[in-house]
Amino acid sequence: MKKNLFIYGLIGAMALTACSKSKEEKGLEPLSCDNPQLSSEIQKTLQTVIDNNANQFVQSDARHFVDADKVMSAAKELTVSLSAAELGKDANNKQVCNSNLSITVPENIWKDIQTYAPLVNGKTDYAAHIKEQLQSNGFTMQNNVFTKPFQYTPLGSSIKAGSAASATATLGSDYDKSAIQNVAITLGNALLAYGVKDTVNVGGHLYHRADALTLIHNPGAQVKPVDQISVEAQKASAILNGQSVVTTTVNNNRTNSVENNVNGNQISARQLQEARDNNANANNNINHLWVNLDDSVRNTLRPEERKWIENKVSQCKAQAANAKSSVQSEYTYLQCETKLTNERINYLKGYSLH
């Protein structure tokens, strides 16, 4: 009888142990490839690397062709996406999530990159240059989209329900970070072309970047430097900068005439060129003022300045969108940007020691 009781007790203990193990196994959370925050982490890595790359380039570029803030602003517009991931195993038989990573450069930014790349990189096959850099990273380029087969560790691989155990696979714990950093450098180098300033110094004279591009391809081309601006453009800039000029009444009449022409969609080539000259003059003034600010002041104002640039572009694009022609659109945008830039100049003067 005692022997039977012992056997029954042993069987009961084994059953309880099996039951306990079964519950523990059931307590394991299933593996999941659903990791929406991963795209955000990759985006932050891209932004950090591109920001550093832009600042380093600007500090070492004796030509001062590139606006680092413009590059950083463009980096914020990159789109990172991961295709629906499937659970699988890698070469070491470890469970991984297999996905496809895409980094998209907005089409308008990509177009400017292709256009102004020669001002940064000279006469090179720019597309071939980028593809060569991408080969070692496993990325491919199709127009403005950079893609790569992407693996990362699934979430929940060792999380036990109701316990204090932490996951062995946490956000960003296991994926090819070096590939992301390397492609960020490639993208950062590409965005330098987008960051080329509206006016650049070539041979001691300032030129619109489009004209500077012409000089790259044809050094003997006859293009007019921006610093040889018209008298009317100088007067307009003086007014916007708060300086007094003679013939205020005449200028007011002329302004009314220009406004009528804008409304009537009859902007002359002379008026458009004056708007371009005036805009270039304002940009030169604010760039000069910004560079000559005290370093500590400039660093403090940098986030505010970036936000101002974004708001300026957005506001002026919105105004230009109502134009009835491409000429009117350009003219409206230039007038808007010049006005806001000169207002910003007056604001920044309060921080200047010069």
CATH number at residue 297: 1.20.1270
Question: Cα separation of 10 and 56, whole Å?
Answer: 73
Instruction: Enter the tokens of residue 233.
Output: 């453009």
C-beta atoms surrounding 176 within 10 Å = 16
Whether residues 152 and 243 share a domain: the answer is no
pLDDT tens per residue across span 101-148: 999 999 999 999 988 988 887 777 777 778 887 877 789 888 899 999
- pLDDT score at 337: 92
Whether residues 54 and 168 share a domain: the answer is yes
| 217: in domain | no
- pLDDT score at 151: 87
| 214: in domain | no
Question: Is the CB of residue 75 less than 8 Å from the CB of residue 188?
Answer: yes
- pLDDT score at 256: 39
The beta strands (E) that lie in the chain are given as 79-82, 86-89, 95-104, 140-142, 145-152, 199-202, 205-208
Whether residues 191 and 240 share a domain: the answer is no
Total structural domains within the chain: 2
| 71: in domain | yes
| 287: in domain | yes
C-beta atoms surrounding 312 within 10 Å = 17
- pLDDT score at 288: 84
| 111: in domain | yes
- pLDDT score at 12: 55
Whether residues 43 and 191 share a domain: the answer is yes
Question: Cα separation of 187 and 59, whole Å?
Answer: 19
Whether residues 142 and 273 share a domain: the answer is no
| 123: in domain | yes
Domain extent, residue 179, equals 37-197
Helix, coil or strand: residue 160: strand
- pLDDT score at 78: 94
Question: Among 197, 214, 244, which residue terminates a domain?
Answer: 197
Using the structure block, give the residue that is written with the tokens 């300033």.
197
| 187: in domain | yes
pLDDT tens per residue across span 150-207: 888 888 744 444 444 444 444 445 788 888 888 899 999 999 999 998 888 777 677 8
Mean pLDDT of successive 10-residue segments in the chain (354 residues)?
Answer: 52 51 50 84 93 90 86 93 86 86 93 89 77 81 90 68 43 73 90 89 78 82 69 54 43 40 65 89 87 80 88 90 88 92 85 57
Whether residues 164 and 53 share a domain: the answer is yes
| 30: in domain | no
Whether residues 180 and 250 share a domain: the answer is no
Instruction: Enter the tokens of residue 146.
Output: 């950079």
Whether residues 124 and 255 share a domain: the answer is no
Whether residues 177 and 242 share a domain: the answer is no
Whether residues 67 and 187 share a domain: the answer is yes
Whether residues 103 and 191 share a domain: the answer is yes
Whether residues 168 and 260 share a domain: the answer is no
Q: How far does Cα 213 stand from its chain's mean position? A: 22
